[in-house]
Amino acid sequence: MLRLGNRAAAVAFRSENKTLGNIDLQSIPSRFNFALLLAQNETERLIAEQCNRQGVSIERSTELIAFSQPEAASHIEAEKYVKAVLRRPDGRMEELEAAYLISAEGSHSLVRNTLNLEFKGKALEQAYALADLHIDGEIPEDALSIFATEQGFLGLFPMGKRRFRIIADRSRAPRSRRWRSRFSRNAKAL
Ligand SMILES: Cc1cc2nc3c(=O)[nH]c(=O)nc-3n(C[C@H](O)[C@H](O)[C@H](O)COP(=O)(O)OP(=O)(O)OC[C@H]3O[C@@H](n4cnc5c(N)ncnc54)[C@H](O)[C@@H]3O)c2cc1C
- Tell me the C-alpha distance between 168 and 152, whole Å: 8
Q: Residue 50 falls within a domain, yes or no?
A: no
Q: Residue 179 falls within a domain, yes or no?
A: yes
Query: Please, what is the average pLDDT of the chain?
Result: 88
| Ligand 1 atom with the shortest distance to the CA of 130 | 1
Considering the domain architecture, whether residues 105 and 151 belong to the same structural domain is answered as no
Test site for ligand 1: of 6, 41, 105, most ligand atoms within 8 A of the Cβ: 105
Q: How far is the CA of 16 from the centre of ligand 1 (A)?
A: 34
CB 44 within 8 A of CB 177: no
Look at residues 63, 71, 124 and name the one whose alpha carbon lies nearest to residue 94.
63
Ligand 1, CB within 6 Å, residue ranges: 63-64, 104-106, 110, 130
CB-based contacts of 9, cutoff 8 Å, min separation 6: 24, 25, 26, 33, 34, 142, 143
Minimum CA distance residue for ligand 1 atom 21: 106
Minimum CA distance residue for ligand 1 atom 19: 106
pLDDT score for 177: 65
> What does DSSP say about strands 18-24 and 10-15: parallel, antiparallel, or unpaired?
antiparallel
Sign of CA dihedral 134, 140, 146, 149: negative
Q: What is the mean pLDDT of residues 12-28?
A: 92
Give the count of domains, the chain.
2
Q: Residue 174 falls within a domain, yes or no?
A: yes
Range of the domain at 83: 59-114
pLDDT per position as a tens digit, 142-171: 999 999 887 788 999 999 999 999 999 876
pTM to 2 decimals? 0.77
Alpha helices by DSSP H, listed for the chain, are 40-53, 110-114, 177-189
pLDDT per position as a tens digit, 22-72: 999 999 999 999 999 999 899 999 999 999 999 999 999 999 999 998 776
Q: How far is the CA of 179 from the centre of ligand 1 (A)?
A: 30
186 pLDDT band, cuts 50/70/90, is low
Q: Residue 154 falls within a domain, yes or no?
A: yes
